[in-house]
Structure 1
Amino acid sequence: MTDQTRISVGLQFGTQPPLNTLRAFLLGARAMTLDSVMVIDHFQNVFPTSIWDRDLTWLAAQRDTPHEFFDYQVLAGYLASRVGRMRLGVGVTEAIRRHPVLIAQAMMTLSHLTARAPILGIGAGERMNLDPYGFDAAEPVSRLEEALQIIHLCFSTQGPIDFCGRHFQLHSAPMDLKPARGRVPEIWVAAHGPRMLSLAGRWGDGWYPATVVSPREYAEKLAAVRAAAVAAGRNPAAITPALHRFMVVAPSEREARAMLDTKVVRAFALMAPPSLWRQAGVDHPFGERFNPLVDFVPGRYDRETMNAAIAAVPSAVVAEGPLLWGSRNQVVARLRAFGEAGLRHVVLAPVSGLVSPRAALYSLWATGRIARSLRRTSPGDGTSAPLLC
């Protein structure tokens, strides 16, 4: 592992009460000297209320509902004075519920509250946060493209802003707030398809996918991002190749495999990309054309439907999808393979913490150990275990 292939590590944690739990996660991340912490921007969870019970997760005994979330902008302001040298960001928001000028103002404000430039993770949007609330989800990619242009203008333009697009119009609109010196927020685009990858190359400071399955796929899509950057006259090397990864980690491979069979992890596997279902030779339980990353709206599915869908998830979709799983050493080996494909920053979201309190504590501890291993320049810590592809 060369200096150029070191991978920095961040931690994603939810924006759900109680606040003292979030403080504890933040203190843990600081103690582990992680590089970043990312909060999420949700109105509701991927788990429908219809299956929210102790049969799914031990947390159901602690929380009456899965759909209780703090506003990420207010929470980020609270966390800003507590993150120390870590970077603070959102992963991810979208410009449908929030106007791009409002997003830009919030991120520029955050830049004045933190020691390092904040990260604005942004995507095209998910229907679970849009449809039930009456937001128009039409033409999300073209809307995002306009939003990215406006956000850039807010970060850099002196004087009133004029912009005339299909979705947004600004007429001599003042936005005189500017980022703190040396801490211009970075825009990380959550891109997977061709149009979104092009946007990441043209407008992004980082590329932040979530459902890329293999290092080969990562390298191919990163090449598309960089090609779009070159075509736009930008330096492709200035774009941070990042990755969001849900993780199941345990002291041994056997224990990790056992967690893959739990109901809560299998429920997460319902979010695997359509291509993976096709490779497994089956259709998604919710339809051949169903794209779970975009189309899933939890409230539309009753308990019987959800339980049947979870039971129908093939083992290959759980084990071979975007879920990162295994022992700590195996997780490090898999991430190093992504590093060889270009990855430079990974944000880990340990879903094994949903299985049991013991697994939650181990996941947090393991995240720190994984980060320390990935900072090393050689795999001399026993991380040469077989990759889990």
Structure 2
Amino acid sequence: MEPGVNPRFAPNLLLRNTRAHAVAGGADSMWLPDHLNSLPPASIWKPAYTGVAKLIPRADAFYEPWTTLGYLAAHNKFTRLRLGVGVTDAGRRNPAVTAQAAATLHPLSRGRAILGFGPGEREVNEPYGVDWSQPVGRFEDALATIRALWNSGGTPINRDSTFFPLRDAVFDIPPHKGTRPAVWVAAHGPRMLRITGQYGDAWFPSYTQTPKEYAEKLDTIHAAADNAGRDPHTILPAAIFFVLTSRTNAQVDEMIDSIPARVWALTTPAHVWARHGTEHPLGPNCTGAQDLLPHTINETTALDYAKHVPPSLIREALLCGTPADILDQLAQWRDNGLRYAVLANISFFHPRLSVGLASSLPLIQILRGTKRL
């Protein structure tokens, strides 16, 4: 997964770098996040804590993903990577606009578009005046609206709904060779898992869980698909994994001990913190990334939070280790149902820029090894 932020030197520097790594590693797809700001607080995004701040000075300078995916589609003629957004949400964009964006990218990428879709997080909705109440209900309504528009064949349609009613709505972008973009659902809770089974083409979670929990949730999705009259095995079990990797375990330990990695642990739900014998700094009911408002956390507070993060929590929340270590971890996920892993390299959290940049080779080794699992 590409970071999707504005770097120094050239606006497309990271895009070209990530695409080169994807090709070298034999990856099937390339992804962009849909954020307006970063999950690690910008207050600790400084060279004193992470070397990559010299290359990416603005932690919150995220590119708009659909525009950027269009740029990638224009440079994807020979690499033939699938292009996905991981993930866009149902709050900030009217689903008709999301349906249009994905249906546009699909033919321009020669049928390689993937719509990663989820209820979103508070940090990219509430600060911008978007109603954050009922995110799951809004998501389900948005997904049904997208499907209705894609299936309308250009005929004006009417649809009553709580959030997105349609009144003589016209959607006339045709399918590409009879196909629409696959919808990969970022589901975690019970209701979202059921929605995935009813409507999703893939399950695409990103937040902390164990391989065993993944298998149990996959069973819930399969049951929901069966109840909806769908073949459960048509739903691809996928996931996003954030990676800390290097050639040596000593450098991986330094990444785990870094301030950005420790603060990243705030995105992990409180019940996971409890498994490691400590309470989430934002309270015992914090859901992690979905609740987090990182731009409200100043440097002093972030550093204080970092003191309370056990390394074992980071090792559970992220894939950590040398390429061999991480491939062993991914094999456990495979044995619990995973069939498609999207890797987001955050090894640049290391305090030294040179070490973070050198993680590219181990990442390529992991990508190549993943294809053999």
Give yes or no for the alignment of 1:132 onto 2:122: no
Map 1:318-333 onto structure 2 (within 5 A). 318-319=314-315, 321-333=316-328
Q: Is the 8 A contact 1:265 1:352 kept in 2?
A: no
Map 1:91-106 onto structure 2 (within 5 A). 91-106=86-101
Q: Is the 8 A contact 1:15 1:71 kept in 2?
A: no
State the SS of the aligned residue for 1:246: strand
Which of the residues 25, 32, 49 maps onto 1:32?
Answer: 25
Map 1:47-58 onto structure 2 (within 5 A). 47-58=40-51
Find the aligned partners of 1:24 and 1:322 in 2 and give their Cα distance. 25
* Change beyond 3 A, Cα 1:28–1:371: closer
**What letter is aligned with 1:25?**
T
Aligned residues: 366
Find the aligned partners of 2:112 and 2:151 in 1 and give their Cα distance. 15
State the SS of the aligned residue for 1:313: coil
Displacement of 1:116 in angstroms is 3.7
Which of the residues 178, 185, 191 maps onto 2:174?
Answer: 178
- Unaligned stretches of 5+ residues in structure 2: none
Match of 1:66 in 2: 59
Find the aligned partners of 2:141 and 2:270 in 1 and give their Cα distance. 28
Find the aligned partners of 1:53 and 1:371 in 2 and give their Cα distance. 29
Which of the residues 266, 269, 272 maps onto 1:270?
Answer: 266
* Change beyond 3 A, Cα 1:348–1:359: farther
Displacement of 1:313 in angstroms is 1.1
Which of the residues 7, 14, 30 maps onto 2:4?
Answer: 14
Residue by residue over 1:128-169, the C-alpha shift from the partner in whole angstroms, topping out at 9 and shown as x without a partner, is 111111110110101100111111122222212221111111
Map 1:226-265 onto structure 2 (within 5 A). 226-265=222-261
Give yes or no for the alignment of 1:285 onto 2:281: yes
Find the aligned partners of 2:311 and 2:274 in 1 and give their Cα distance. 13
Q: Is the 8 A contact 1:241 1:344 kept in 2?
A: yes
State the SS of the aligned residue for 1:168: coil
State the SS of the aligned residue for 1:112: helix
Find the aligned partners of 1:332 and 1:223 in 2 and give their Cα distance. 24
Find the aligned partners of 1:12 and 1:343 in 2 and give their Cα distance. 21
Find the aligned partners of 2:50 and 2:166 in 1 and give their Cα distance. 47
**What letter is aligned with 2:113?**
P
Displacement of 1:249 in angstroms is 0.8
Q: Is the 8 A contact 1:117 1:184 kept in 2?
A: no
User: 71-80 or 13-22, which moves further after superposition?
Assistant: 13-22
Displacement of 1:272 in angstroms is 1.5
Which of the residues 68, 73, 76 maps onto 1:75?
Answer: 68
Find the aligned partners of 2:52 and 2:353 in 1 and give their Cα distance. 9
Map 1:143-182 onto structure 2 (within 5 A). 143-158=138-153, 159-182=155-178
* Change beyond 3 A, Cα 1:365–1:60: same
Find the aligned partners of 2:115 and 2:250 in 1 and give their Cα distance. 37
Match of 1:225 in 2: 221
**What letter is aligned with 2:141?**
E
* Change beyond 3 A, Cα 1:179–1:212: farther
Find the aligned partners of 1:173 and 1:160 in 2 and give their Cα distance. 5
Give yes or no for the alignment of 1:375 onto 2:364: no
Residue by residue over 1:156-185, the C-alpha shift from the partner in whole angstroms, topping out at 9 and shown as x without a partner, is 222122211111110110001123115420
User: 66-75 or 309-318, which moves further after superposition?
Assistant: 309-318
Q: Is the 8 A contact 2:123 2:293 kept in 1?
A: yes
Displacement of 1:257 in angstroms is 2.1
State the SS of the aligned residue for 1:268: helix
Residue by residue over 1:176-206, the C-alpha shift from the partner in whole angstroms, topping out at 9 and shown as x without a partner, is 1123115420111111110111111111100
TM-score, normalised by the number of residues in structure 2 = 0.94
**What letter is aligned with 2:218?**
L
User: 113-122 or 244-253, which moves further after superposition?
Assistant: 113-122
Residue by residue over 1:16-56, the C-alpha shift from the partner in whole angstroms, topping out at 9 and shown as x without a partner, is 34322212221331232210110011110123232221122
Residue by residue over 1:86-139, the C-alpha shift from the partner in whole angstroms, topping out at 9 and shown as x without a partner, is 110000111111011110110010011113431111111111111111110110
Which of the residues 288, 296, 300 maps onto 2:292?
Answer: 296
- Unaligned stretches of 5+ residues in structure 1: 1-10, 378-389
Displacement of 1:210 in angstroms is 1.0
Residue by residue over 1:2-29, the C-alpha shift from the partner in whole angstroms, topping out at 9 and shown as x without a partner, is xxxxxxxxx3432434322212221331
Match of 1:117 in 2: 112
Displacement of 1:299 in angstroms is 2.1
Q: Alpha carbon RMSD of aligned pairs, Å?
A: 1.6
State the SS of the aligned residue for 2:342: strand
Give yes or no for the alignment of 1:311 onto 2:312: no
Find the aligned partners of 1:150 and 1:295 in 2 and give their Cα distance. 26
